[in-house]
Structure 1
Amino acid sequence: LTIFLFPSSHICFSIAHTLLFWPGPIETSHPLGPVTLLVWTHPFHRRQDLPDCYELFHISGCALTDDRREYAHADAVVIHHRDVVLGSDELPPEPRPSAQKWIWMNYESPSHTPQLWQLEGVFNFTLSYRTDSDIFLPYGYLIPRTHGTRSSLGRRAHLLHRPSNKDLRRPHLVAWVISNWSETHARVAFYYQLRRYIDVDVFGRAGQPMEDSSKGSVVRLLGRYQFYLALENSLHTDYITEKLWNAVQAGAVPVVLGPDRKNYERFLPPEAFIHVDDFPTVRGLARYLLMLKRNPLLLRRHLDWRGDYALYRPVMWSEHYCLACKTTRRGRGRTQVVRDLTKWFYS
């Protein structure tokens, strides 16, 4: 039994906590025949080579293509939301081939997902970060660590380690990497308050330049910081993005602004992050971070959990396509239509 007491008198009992352990799309075989999945548009029109699903994820029987001439023969079509609602592309032609499944794919929050109302009754499956999607794939997730964890998942599994003395005495306090700065965002208002009490090193378009914006570059940067502001651009159910997982991979304690604490605790142990809502004031949060900097033993309580887990970060967008293909195979012969897309996604 582990009991952790937050300064705001929140008590978390990790023995009663249930993490959402998503098993991933790995399979070795499937009795159904192969299917063809057509990628209608590459997300944001950034083309990438289509993967070999079996080689990368042990998902068999999947033929992926982005050749629209194969539309009439495709068992399913993956359609990226923003590319068909913002005028850059069109939906596939109707009538669609018999038994073909259309899959709605979207990894933006509801606040940045326009014109959903146009797509009611169009799709057969949803593919998103929402845990209640027909095809669920989050931005990242934890895996209980066993002897074979790394070998079973290969290089995509990042083994997490308990903190060393060096980790507990990192040279810098708080970092924030941001590319989409908007004065209307709650995270910007929060930052303005926090910087009144502690120094925050800001990187990206609104701050100091980065070497590059790749995931690896951000993780290397955060390896020098004790805390990272994992602040989402909008607050919605399950909208927990790569910002959180960059901090986890780097061994920095994430300070999160997004859905409520209970939602985060579906993905992380309660002591693994600091939620801004844990404190009645931003000043109280700042004082807590400074207290942790002066007390490495207390900081360790936020990091010791790491020794029990590995971090898995899905491959964008290859893994999404392969998981969609797998679901299409399993859904053969099943008829369903997503009739309340707007109501569901905003719920």
Structure 2
Amino acid sequence: MKPLYIQKLIVFVPVVLFVIFLTWSWHRAGFSTAIECKHRDIDGTTADDLQKDSQISVHKKENELLILVWVWPFGETFPLNTCQSVYGISGCKLTADRSLYKMADALVIHHVDIMYNRSSLPQDPRPHHQRWVWFNLEPPLIIKNLHFLDNLFNMTMTFRQDSDVYRPYGRIEALKQPQSFTIPAKSKLVAWVVSKWYPGARRIAYYEELQKYIPIDVYGKKHMKLSWDDFYKTISQYKFYLAFENSIYKDYITEKLWSNAFDSWAVPVVLGTSRQNYERFLPGEAFIHVDDFPSAKDLADYLVQLDNDDEGYKKYFNWRSLYRVRRETGWDSSYCEACRALKQAPDYQVISSVKKWFLEGTK
């Protein structure tokens, strides 16, 4: 017969080993579950593929946002490496590589290029960390199918000042000190450059009435030809330029004023949103508004009067001694600004109806 302590060891040791085995098994199973949960997306897709995770470091640095240009705006390509070097916006990396869709922190989607085809939007589920930016510089007259966007987008980037990312066609900046200016010599009276002729639009009707009382040189499709190379040299000969918008819409003040008129040093005669709306963005004496006159004939009489009044005409340029016009000319600036805004925006928000928000701006 074996001693008593030997018998106890024979019983005790297997029990201890069994307990150790169970503890090790439970710990291993729990650790694996924790790892799986940690790398599982909100939509249930497992993300424990370390190879995919490691790819992120290849495409962007730590604390850098990866912004996917989903479609080139109007098919126009632009440099993707200018955020820091040109605009001083750090921590942003732009890409047009759709294979990085799941890695991207945000998508910027230009509406005109997706508005006729819902399937041109991303078809894969959106990663839970990703935000979509709706980019649009056109008025309601132009854009279609806003219902495509319901509950998909998180931010807006438009010419409206109440957008998440405000992208006007132009703006004025105060000069550090007053400067003198010289008005180019003028030999002609009124010019208008128009590319799209919308029958029945207010600007067409107003032009047809105005031209009864004052000569207007019209350039563009179906009118006098004018190349871009000769544009500013030609228009700068005119005292007045008809900066008539194709839509009357909140904050919609386009290159017709900021570029065509101001860069040509012609006084803009504007037709569009209200004078009050214009004066939110530039001095009231920088333009002539058609609504200031009871009729097109009264406006024509006033322009003829200014044509014979050098001092009265010059007052429409006095603001230039205090301000300068600034225009962003590259698409890349908008995408870099979107990245800047994303860095400062709330972690998450959703726009239930872009259509409702955008159309409410009509007035």
**TM-score normalised according to structure 1 size:** 0.82
State the match for 1:63 in structure 2: 93
The reply on whether 1:191 has 2:198 as its aligned counterpart is: no
* 1:232 and 2:245 are equivalent in the alignment: yes
The equivalent residue for 2:74 is: 44
- Say whether 1:305 aligns with 2:324: no
- Give the secondary structure class of the aligned counterpart of 1:254: strand
Q: Sort the Cα spacing of 1:51 and 1:295 in 2 relative to 1 into closer, same or farther, 3 A.
A: farther
Alignment-derived partner of residue 314 in structure 1: 328
The structure that has the greater radius of gyration is 2
Taking the aligned partners of 1:301 and 1:88, their CA distance within structure 2 comes to 51
Return the match for 1:251 from 256, 261, 265: 265
1:323 is aligned with what amino acid? E
In 1, are the aligned partners of 2:81 and 2:93 still within 8 Å (CA)? Answer: no
1:208 to 204, 224, 228: 224
Aligned residues of 2:78 and 2:330 also touching (Cα < 8 A): no
Q: 2:181 aligns with which of 147, 162, 168?
A: 162
Deviation at 1:261, TM superposition (A): 0.3
Contact 2:149–2:353 (Cα < 8 Å) also in 1: no
- CA–CA distance in structure 2, aligned partners of residues 320 and 271 of structure 1: 29
Q: Which position in structure 2 is the counterpart of 1:17?
A: none
Question: 2:211, 2:223 → 1: CA distance?
Answer: 13
Q: Quote the residue 1:265 is aligned against.
A: 279
The answer as to 2:270 corresponding to 1:223 is: no
Instruction: Report the alpha carbon displacement of residue 160 of structure 1 after superposing the two structures with TM.
Output: 8.2
User: Could you tell which deviates more after superposition, 216-225 or 243-252?
Assistant: 216-225
Give the match's secondary structure for 2:269.
strand
Which residue matches 1:108? 138
Q: Secondary structure at the match of 2:114?
A: helix
Q: Residue 8 of structure 1 aligns with which residue?
A: none
Other-structure match for 1:178: 194
Cα drift, residue 106 of structure 1: 0.4
Bigger shift: residues 114-123 or 71-80: 114-123
- Measure how far apart 1:182 and its partner are: 1.7
Determine which structure has greater relative contact order: mean sequence separation of CA pairs < 8 Å that are 6+ residues apart, divided by chain length. Answer: 1
Deviation at 1:286, TM superposition (A): 0.3
Q: CA deviation at 1:86?
A: 1.5
Q: 1:275 to 1:132 in 2, by over 3 A?
A: same
Q: Supply the distance in 1 between the matched residues of 2:119 and 2:244 (Cα, whole angstroms).
A: 31
CA gap 1:183/1:80 in 2 versus in 1, 3 angstroms: same
Give the AA of the match of 2:254.
T
SS of aligned partner of 2:101: helix
Q: Does 1:33 align with 2:63?
A: yes
Shift of 1:217: 4.6
Q: Which amino acid in the other structure matches residue 309 of structure 1? A: Y
Q: Pick closer, same or farther for the CA change 1:100–1:84 going to 2, 3 Å.
A: same
Task: Tell me the CA shift for residue 45 of structure 1.
Answer: 1.9
Q: In structure 2, how many angstroms separate the alpha carbons of the residues matched to 1:260 and 1:308?
A: 24
The one-letter amino acid paired with 1:270 is G
Structure 1 residue 249: Cα displacement: 2.2
Contact preservation (8 Å) 1:178, 1:206: no
C-alpha distance in 1 between matches for 2:253 and 2:179: 19
SS at match of 2:86: helix
1:98 positional shift: 2.1
**Change in 2 beyond 3 A, CA 1:47/1:201:** same
1:25-53 CA distance string (max 9 Å, x none): xxxxxxx9211100000112233333411
1:133 aligns to 2:163 (yes or no): yes
User: What's 1:294 paired with?
Assistant: 308
Cα-Cα RMSD? 1.8
> How big is the shift at 1:82?
1.5
Q: How far did 1:284 drift?
A: 0.3
- Between 1:176-185 and 1:124-133, the stretch displaced more is 176-185
Once the two structures are TM-superposed, the CA of residue 221 in structure 1 deviates from its matched residue by 2.5
Is contact 1:232–1:257 with CA below 8 Å preserved after alignment?
A: yes
Aligned length: 298
Residue aligning to 2:350:
337
Shift of 1:201: 0.7
